[in-house]
Amino acid sequence: MNNTFPIEGNLSGLDRKDFQMDINNKKTDLYILKNQKGMEVAVTNYGCAILSIMVPDKDGKYANVVLGHGSIKEVVNSPEPFLNTIIGRYGNRIAKGKFTLYGQEHQLTINNGPNSLHGGPTGFHARVWDATQIDDTTVQFHYVSADGEEGFPGNLDVEMTYRLEEEENALVIEYRASTDRETIVNLTNHAFFNLAGVANPTPTINDHIVTIQADFYTPMDNVSIPTGEIAKVDGTPMDFRTPHAIGERIDEPFEQLVFGAGYDHCYVLKKTEMGALDLAATCTDPKSGRTMEVYTTEAGVQLYTGNWLGGFQGAHGTTFPARSALCFEAQCFPDTPNKAHFPSATLLPGDEYQQVTIYQFGIKE
């Protein structure tokens, strides 16, 4: 672990000593990234959790636009264990925690009703990663997930980087992974955004205006497993091809919204070609003027509207009620290993998993 860059006087108001702890004989720490435009991101190497993203509003006022904690103890014991963390080995749900790969059935840890969610209870979000801060704008993380961890086959070697662009207020997340045995991989970041800025209480995201570059989505059953259908968004409250406020249709008696208690669905992104880095979604907070664009190489993006947030406390006395955040989780489709017609999540020895996702912030003109 290497953190030689000054972090005193950071915009987030976080204290390094509050993030220094020994967990399973590995040390946690605080890392501060800054670019020339004044954007600042604070992260820790426990789960690679993002603690704050400081960006300006239309009046130049900086605020934290992710729901974050103020100490490593709060991160470890969070009521929302996936808050702004890296998710793996498989983001989203796998039905009954089972899948068959090359004739062998694998049983994963069950941690979400009858299903496996986000890599299990001790997935990548609950691990201390090796960390090296490369420069003011970049921190690199490394973790080796052992064969059999949470039931996943193969030793998976993962490298993940957070990097701020110098000329744009953009956070770039780059992933690479390799395996010594056939396995499945679906990595994502579970950042909880509120472009109005966190507060006590943090306001809902009902007035956030969203577009998603998708004609289709993957409907789910009552335990949030895709039915296998690739359904048109046309004529439904799932349609964000044109701008809509989140709160405009979220409480309609549409079966999919009832199942998710709001939006919690994977959208099938329009791609110029598989693996291309394309615009996936946009989000605007009308009051602050802050905007966010999401770009990704992934085939899908999960829109989640913080439906199950329970009002717990974050850094500096902030609180996070239901629907006080929205997530754009770039990923493979849920339950892909059990849906042969979904784009594959299989990784073989000798191949490399690669992903790039960018969250770019701006001001509405």
Task: Return the active site residues.
Answer: 190, 329
Structure tokens of 183?
Answer: 């396995």
Closest to 69 (Cα-Cα) out of 14, 121, 106: 14
* Sequence-ordered list of residues with C-beta below 8 angstroms from that of 157, at least 6 positions apart, any chain: 142, 144, 177, 178, 179
Structure tokens of 96?
Answer: 């009954």
Query: Which spans in 69-114 are helix H?
Result: 72-76
Structure tokens of 20?
Answer: 């220094």
CB-side neighbour CA atoms (13 Å) of 188: 32
Please tell me the total number of residues recorded for the chain in this structure: 365
How far is Cα 117 from Cα 224, in angstroms, rounded to an integer?
Answer: 10
Task: Judge contact between 82 and 126, C-beta under 8 A.
Answer: no
